Structure formats: C-alpha cells, structure tokens
Structure 1
Amino acid sequence: MGVRTWIGSWPVYRQFTGDDPLGRGAAAKSAGTERIRARVSEADRVVKSVCPYCAVGCGQDVYVKDGKVTHVEGDPDSPVSRGRLCPKGSATLQLTTGSAREHRVLYRRPYGTEWEPLELDTAMEMIADRVIDARRRGWQWESEDGLRVRRTLGFASLGGATLDNEENYLIKKLFTALGAVQIENQARI
C-alpha cells in the first residue's frame, strides 16, 4: 500500500477532499464499517405486530426469514411506543424460538403428577364438554326472589392484561351468550 493510498484511507482526508465536508456519510466510513450489515437485512419480510406482554400494546416489527422469526424490535411507526420496547418486549423473540416453548397441548389428569401430551382436537372437545356440563349444572332460571335471571354460576371468565379491546369484547360476548355473569379482567382489578 503506497503512502498516497494509505493517506486516502483516512476519514479526515476523505472529508476534506471529497463530497462530504461535514463527515456524516461516505467520508466517515472505514473498510470495517463497509463490511457491517444490519442483523435484519437478510429478512424476507417484516410483519407488523403488537407486543403480547401487557395491555399497553407497543408496536413491533417482526423479521421473518424462510418462514421463521429471526428478530423482533420496536416499530418506529407505532404511535404508542414510537419504536421503544421494555425489557420484556425486547425479549419477545424467545416466545417463538425459545427452547422452553411448548408446541403441543399438555394435560395433567385430576390428582395426576405428570403432564401428558394430548391432541388439540381432543383438548378442545374436553373443554367444550366441561363448559356445557358446568353450564347445565349451574344454570338458574330464577333467583331466590323469583326474578327471571337465566344465568349460570358454573363458570366465570378472568381475562388477562395482554388482551386488547377487541379480544375482550369478543370474550364478553361469548361468556354473556353462555349465560355467565362473573366476567372480569385482570387489568381492572
């Protein structure tokens, strides 16, 4: 490498002799900087999402490559979080790729000590059967005063803070249609 080439590689020299007198662009780049690539640059697509941890609803950009989530970061277009995420939101990638994530239904029988895998269809049938049975056993046509109530006290709903308004609306509609009156949300408690 000649002296002229060596001096030409200095950012200050490039700044004063090139088209970048303020040193904010090409003049400030070194060979090492040129090789650096953003960790999200190889993603096939970016999917807009909402953080699932709390009711704030921070926006997230989810980077996907070959159908798998590779990175999650704050969405700068979100009016809620403006690109920022708390420590929990920053760790959202672990929800999809973490080794502790279960990808199957697990069931523990009454008085059982071990979890066993269960088919999703079987689990859904068990839940439906139990809701119908609890509704049937706890159904009340009238109160003790003789007032018509048409309700069940056989089950209740307690929603979590990660549910958004639309999900809470649908849950309220579902449980009201089933006759439940004990419908609450953790965010209100």
Structure 2
Amino acid sequence: MNIDLSRRGFLRLAGAGVAATSLGAMGFGAAEAAEAASVRAFKLTTTTETRNTCPYCSVACGIIMYSRGDVKAGETAELMHIEGDADHPTNRGTLCPKGAALKDFVHAPTRLTHPRIRRAGSDQFEEISWDEALDKIARAVKDDRDANFIATNDDGTPVNRWTTTGFLAASATTNETAWLTYKTVRSMGIVGFDNQARV
C-alpha cells in the first residue's frame, strides 16, 4: 500500500493530531469530566483573605492570610493559612523560610499580644493596657523634649534640635507612611533617626 502524502499534508495531519490531544488534555474528554465531578471543594473557599506585610526583615514581602470567623460579628478569627502574595511587587509570591513559617509565629504560645512593663525594683514583667503603655510613652517623650530641646546654638542661630532621643522606623511600610514618619520625627527636632532596613 502506497500513501501519497505531501509535506504540507503531513503538517496538516500532525497539527490536527496535536489539537485533538490538547483538547483531551484540557478536560474535554469523558474521563476528565467524570474526574472533575468527584473533586472536593478547595479548602480555602470559605475563608477571609487579608493582604499584609511579613514582619521579619526589611525586605517587606507581601503575604496573604486566610482566616475563618467573622470579626465584625464578634467572632474570633482563626488563622488557617499564610502564603506569599503573587501580586506583590517585592516578592512576587515567594517567601523565605521565616516568612513561610509565619503561621507558627502567629500561633506561638510565647508570642506577646499585650504591652508589658517591668516596674522599678521588680524582677517580673507585668501586662498593662495599650492606653497605659501609650500614655507612659507620650509622657516620657514630652518630659525629655521639654528638658533637652535646643532651640538655638551659642550665637543665637535657630537649630531646633532634640539630641537626647532617637527614633527607629520600620522598613516594612509604604513610601507614603515612610514620608509621614520622617516628617513627624524631624518636626519634633529629633536628630537620631534611622530605619530598620539598615540594622
């Protein structure tokens, strides 16, 4: 038996074969349709998706956290899963080993969730409220600035410096937040200002 097949005819036949096989591989076959009907639902479909920033280093990778429970309705949210954010320009969905283990960091029994203070003469830390912690910080900042602010130098030139307090800013932030932090710190006269990215 002699088959007379031109080069062009062979390419057409091969192309039709590739197209038919591709359609079957994409799920248009009967076996694939039957298998798709028996697949269970994706486990994160009933969760709330929240975007955030990894807290570990100064790279500021984007993460997506999945939780169950309606916080607005008074329920406690349970963190189910954390993964890298593929739409984030910094990490494009990848995470380092520390970032990949963030769920364990969140659920760690030793994780601090409230401010603590060690009072004078004590060897123990005690939990205090956020209001008390912020009031103590504000009072310490105000007292130190009032006592040590330098308005002018020796020849009367205005310098508006405050050299006895320093400020360490976070690097896992937006450009807008970083700009506002810088302006706030400099407007108080603080000279010692650095960023966590350099530490």
TM-score of the alignment, normalized to the shorter chain, above 0.5: yes
- In structure 2, relative to structure 1, the CA distance for the partners of 1:102 and 1:132 (3 Å cut) is same
TM-score w.r.t. the length of structure 2 is 0.70
The residue type paired with residue 119 of structure 1 is S
- In structure 2, relative to structure 1, the CA distance for the partners of 1:37 and 1:90 (3 Å cut) is farther
| Displacement of 1:37 | 5.2
Instruction: Count matched residues.
Output: 169
Is 1:72 the counterpart of 2:82? The answer is yes
Q: How does 1:5-154 map to 2 (within 5 A)?
A: 21-22=24-25, 27=31, 34=38, 38-43=42-47, 45-67=48-70, 68=77, 69-154=79-164
SS of 2:164's partner is: coil
Assess if the C-alpha contact under 8 Å between 1:55 and 1:164 holds in 2.
Answer: no
Identity %: 30
Q: Which runs of 5+ in 1 are unaligned?
A: 1-18
- In structure 2, relative to structure 1, the CA distance for the partners of 1:169 and 1:140 (3 Å cut) is same
| Displacement of 1:38 | 4.0
Q: Distance in 1 between matches of 2:159 and 2:43?
A: 59
User: 1:72-91, CA deviations, whole angstroms, 9 ceiling, x for partnerless residues?
Assistant: 11122223322211111112
Is 1:179 the counterpart of 2:189? The answer is yes
User: 1:129-166, CA deviations, whole angstroms, 9 ceiling, x for partnerless residues?
Assistant: 10001101111122234422122112111224434433
Q: Distance in 1 between matches of 2:133 and 2:89?
A: 39
Name whichever of 107-116 and 159-168 sits farther off. Answer: 159-168
SS of 1:156's partner is: strand
Q: Distance in 1 between matches of 2:26 and 2:159?
A: 76
> Aligned residue for 1:5?
none
Q: Distance in 1 between matches of 2:113 and 2:147?
A: 34
Q: Which runs of 5+ in 2 are unaligned?
A: 1-21, 71-76
Assess if the C-alpha contact under 8 Å between 1:55 and 1:163 holds in 2.
Answer: no
Name whichever of 47-56 and 134-143 sits farther off. Answer: 47-56
| Displacement of 1:111 | 4.8
Assess if the C-alpha contact under 8 Å between 2:185 and 2:193 holds in 1.
Answer: yes
Q: Distance in 2 between matches of 1:112 and 1:161?
A: 34
TM-score w.r.t. the length of structure 1 is 0.73
Larger radius of gyration: 2
User: 1:49-74, CA deviations, whole angstroms, 9 ceiling, x for partnerless residues?
Assistant: 22222332322221121142221111
